[in-house]
Structure 1
């Protein structure tokens, strides 16, 4: 795996028919900062270019992007648990951003994350794991409310990503941040410190 930059694909959608909308044009460039800014981002957002800060609570994000978006369990605000690694996932995530009435998605994470901050997030991932276990397998998993069951499903998807795909992604992302380019084939990637 080598890091794939989703920002050019995001910018290329602006002013064109969105692939998931049957002809409707995407007018917003989701590669910029979230309206509430980087400092207010949800702590559950994984490192990468995309994040959320104070989204609505309408539970629309997973309708568009179940492979990238999950809901927190207090107000059901959205956050990015998996960064897009191919064009179709950018389409899904920008759809989720467009459906958020507050437009509280941002795509300027690369301007804020550093290799050290990513390493720090990785060392503290136990906090995310604890949250995801509680929501994914707690009372919300069997709730009579479909929205809570969907939030639990998102938490379980986050756990699976934490266990299988996030570590390799972050190693590539740390290289991207440090070197300003994707790693070449066979090039050594930085280790994630426990």
Structure 2
């Protein structure tokens, strides 16, 4: 899987309505390629389960709106407060728009898209080495929430299963492409070797 840079798409939609929105809703009001919520939601406070990449969420509200916009990208923690985090980075304009929608719906402005300024190859590799911890958490979440009496928890259990599948499948290739992007400042061409994790 080749790394796709979502930031030009994110910047280009500012001031325009998202394609999935009713045009009467109005335009995207924030450049989601920047930091989350200014001072209150820095990258350092992102959820430990957040997959490396430009997008993250840090200390979100607990309204569980993210999966309504981006079910293939957003999941909730089960630490008692239900904050959102990004478990899959976007790979197309449509997917970037879904994450923008999640950011627009989250009242604290706690989504950010400046992760590239903070992730280093060493940090990405550290996250990958510790992926078993994240995977085990997602498996436990699925077991608990898939049998919940709450419909929203049962729906989110599907996100936990998708996260496990992502970790077991395409995430390694994505992260190798992301490492290339971090090291070289550009996306790898098809014939170029990607760094190892």
So what's the TM-score if we normalise by structure 1?
A: 0.96
Which residue in the other structure is 1:32 paired with?
A: 34
Structure 1: 5+ residue runs without aligned partners? none
What is the number of equivalent residue pairs in this alignment?
A: 191
Per-residue deviation at 1:2?
2.0
* Residues in 2 aligned to 1:2 and 1:141: alpha-carbon distance in whole angstroms: 33
Match of 2:158 among 140, 143, 153: 153
Cα offsets for 1:74-107 (capped at 9, x unmatched): 2211100000010000111100110111111000
Question: 2:77, 2:164 → 1: CA distance?
Answer: 14
Q: Distance in 2 between matches of 1:73 and 1:155?
A: 11
Asked whether the equivalents of residues 73 and 151 of structure 1 are also in contact (C-alpha less than 8 Å), the reply is no
Structure 1 residue 127 corresponds to structure 2 residue 106: no
Which residue of structure 2 lines up, in the alignment, with residue 59 of structure 1?
Answer: 64
Q: Is the Cα contact below 8 Å between 2:55 and 2:112 reproduced in 1? A: yes
Of 161, 185, 190, the match for 2:195 = 190
The aligned counterpart of 2:171 is: 166
Match of 1:86 among 63, 83, 92: 92
* 3-state secondary structure, aligned to 1:83: coil
| Long gaps (5+) in structure 2 | none
CA distance in 2 between counterparts of 1:46 and 1:104 reads 16
Whole-Å Cα distance in 1 between the matches of residues 194 and 18 of structure 2? 35
Residue 49 (structure 1) aligns with: 54
Is residue 12 of structure 1 aligned with residue 17 of structure 2?
no
The answer (yes or no) to whether the contact 2:138–2:163 under 8 Å persists in 1 is yes
Structure 1 runs of 4+ aligned residues shifted over 4 Å read none
For the residue of structure 1 that corresponds to 2:2, the secondary structure is coil
**1:51-90 Cα distance to aligned partner (Å, 9 max, x none):** 0000111111001001110111122111000000100001
SS in 2 for 1:79: strand
Contact 1:76 1:151 in 2 (8 A): no
Give me the whole-angstrom Cα distance separating, in 2, the residues matched to 1:22 and 1:148. Answer: 28
- Cα deviation for residue 133 of structure 1 reads 0.8
